[in-house]
Chains A and B, each alone.
Chain A
């Protein structure tokens, strides 16, 4: 019960949150959610690569990174990185209404992570060396992740704009 209360108090603060704040929150939660799914899919051997092989095992060689702690820490780190991803979308693309933009954003992110940044992660083999299952699974995951962040921010942006326009209209009508 008390846990639930606390969350509701968060809600109250959230009401006063700005569009930017909400977008960053979306990014954070999107990062947590989809990287958790990534860990889950790795557990069931859908992909050879788990989120922790990126953000942890490439730099840290300690034994705990292989266990559940490594997964939790990497999920949190990806949550943090996702705030950045959301910020970039917010800055550049928020005016696009279409769900496709989010999809493309996800694809571009995948390409960046697996092609451009690949040399940064010594632990991750070249794309050409990955098996088909891994490639398909990760691409799908990135597409959903991109849509989650992109579509949410765009929808929220347009929703807020509509609300503001309405408020303005009403003010103008009152002025008349």
Chain B
């Protein structure tokens, strides 16, 4: 790209800004001309992205120059001196000026000079850190990432004041010019991985990434129809910081509070900050309960369907399982209807305004649940197992994983309903083989179960006390393996 230099004449600059940026047409582009020591000075800024208090201070200081200074030969030096702000940079090209202005900095052109000053007076509209909805804990920090990448890096830095923590900024999107920040510990994270991620991000050619980290994820790891999440998201700075310390790499995208953690495996998605907030024993208990719930959300319905189709499979003690009365509709159809019904409710719950959610709960529980049984559509046992399976999927900490599990669950259900036991066994095997064969950024998805790694598996099955975890997980290939120097 050819860089157009700043012309010495301010009238030309003004014309450039009018044609290229739409000064005067575009409502949010602000423009102010003042005269300092008989030299025209022009300021350009975006009204919504600058802090007006600081801009007023700057203007006051500049206009005051007329009363105190006399030396007309040194106007630029005087102006630079009097731009009272810690971040003032001279720039030489119009492109740079436009880029900076569009990200919320104020640009100061001086008549007769081939450079301009940019002052960082950014103040983006946004919220202050709040506890993320999806990752609540009972005790512990309640701040969460926001939509502002600068605040997000600051929240991370607050937790790791290490000189070796790197926040590298890249820009993605020809039009949106979104800031993407890669964070890692320089002496821990695998160089190859960092380089791989950087290359992949730099190769992205797209006009804009309004869906922020999600779009980026699709460019980095996912190019097919695999429903399983290949990266982990978090909105909690403490979770992000602990992963950084383990040697993972973070990607923070401006305009989104969800931070990507790389590399990730299946078992990262079934962990939650809460268990690290509790005593190890309790943490382990929570974890096992959750594994059971995730397991139930996957296999409970197909297994039950199998036992309904072929009650001779059940051992004597469990022969009570299975509906006493088959009902009017085949069990498979009942289950699928129920699963889809639950999906209706879940989707409705996302969009429903809080004021209506009580009404929705009533409709769901009383009307649909009870009456479906009374009418003879669904048998009570179907509702029981569907509910357990649904709760199991809500227990899954990663929303993406719970939805993917639902799809897998349907696949197993259909296979079981068509081919019975053989369908169940083969589909479970195919499902496991599929998971085992997924690789995201050279990381096997089912690690440490498949390929098996004893030490890491113990760390997954038990919430090990922190003083005893002396080494970093081998899956990130850390350069420095010891956590306690």
Contact = CB atoms under 8 A, between A and B. Distances in A.
Interface of A: 1, 4-5, 7-8, 11-12, 14-15, 22, 25-26, 29-30, 43-46, 99, 103, 132-133, 136-137, 140, 143-144, 147-148, 151-152, 154-156, 159, 162-163
Contacts of A8: 458, 464, 468
Given A1-B281, A4-B462, A44-B314, A132 B454 contact: no
Interface of B: 280-281, 284, 312-315, 421-422, 425-426, 428-429, 432-433, 436-437, 444, 450-455, 458, 462, 464-465, 468, 470-471, 474, 477
Given A136-B422, A151-B436, A44 B315 contact: yes
A156 B468 CA distance: 24
Contact of B452 (A1, A5, A30, A44): A30
A143 B465 CA distance: 36
- Shortest 9 CB-CB contacts between residues of A and residues of B: A155-B451, A152-B451, A152-B452, A140-B429, A45-B313, A8-B468, A26-B452, A136-B422, A151-B451
Contacts of B451: 151-152, 154-156
Most buried by B among A4, A46, A154, A159: A4
A60 to B, nearest CB: 23
A169 to B, nearest CB: 12
Most buried by A among B452, B471, B474: B452
Contacts of B471: 15
Given A4-B464, A46-B313, A152 B450 contact: yes
A144 B450 CA distance: 10
Given A133-B421, A136-B422, A143-B429, A44 B450 contact: no
Contacts of A103: 433
A137 B464 contact: no
Contact of B454 (A4, A14, A159): A14
Nearest to A14: B455
Contacts of A99: 433, 436-437
Contacts of B477: 162-163
A26 B454 contact: yes
A147 B454 contact: no
A48 to B, nearest CB: 12
A133 B433 CA distance: 20
6 contacts: A1-B281, A26-B452, A44-B313, A136-B421, A152-B450, A155-B444
Nearest to B428: A140
Nearest to A43: B315
Most buried by A among B284, B312, B426, B433: B433
Given A7-B458, A8-B464, A25-B454, A144 B429 contact: yes
A154 B450 CA distance: 11
Nearest to B430: A140
Nearest to B191: A166
B462 A46 contact: no
A90 to B, nearest CB: 13
A22 B454 contact: yes
Contacts, number: 84
A151 B436 CA distance: 9
A22 B272 CA distance: 29
Nearest to A1: B281
B425 A136 contact: yes
A136 B423 CA distance: 10
A4 B444 contact: no
A44 B312 CA distance: 9
B280 A46 contact: no
A93 to B, nearest CB: 14
B426 to A, nearest CB: 6
A43 B313 CA distance: 9
A22 B450 CA distance: 14
Nearest to B481: A15
Contacts of A140: 425-426, 428-429
Given A45-B312, A147-B450, A137 B433 contact: no
A71 B194 CA distance: 49
Contacts of B425: 46, 133, 136-137, 140
Contacts of A143: 429, 433
A166 to B, nearest CB: 9
Contacts of B444: 151, 155
A157 B426 CA distance: 29
Most buried by A among B437, B450, B470: B450
Nearest to A5: B468
Given A133-B422, A155-B444, A148 B464 contact: no
B454 A1 contact: no
Nearest to B457: A29
Contacts of B437: 99
Given A99-B436, A132-B422, A155-B444, A45 B315 contact: yes
Given A46-B425, A140-B428, 13 more contacts: A1-B280, A4-B464, A4-B465, A11-B458, A44-B314, A99-B437, A136-B425, A143-B429, A147-B433, A148-B452, A155-B444, A159-B474, A162-B477
B462 A7 contact: yes
A136 B421 CA distance: 9
B31 to A, nearest CB: 55
A136 B312 CA distance: 18
Contacts of B284: 4
Contacts of B465: 4
B155 to A, nearest CB: 32
Most buried by A among B433, B454, B462: B454
A103 B315 CA distance: 31
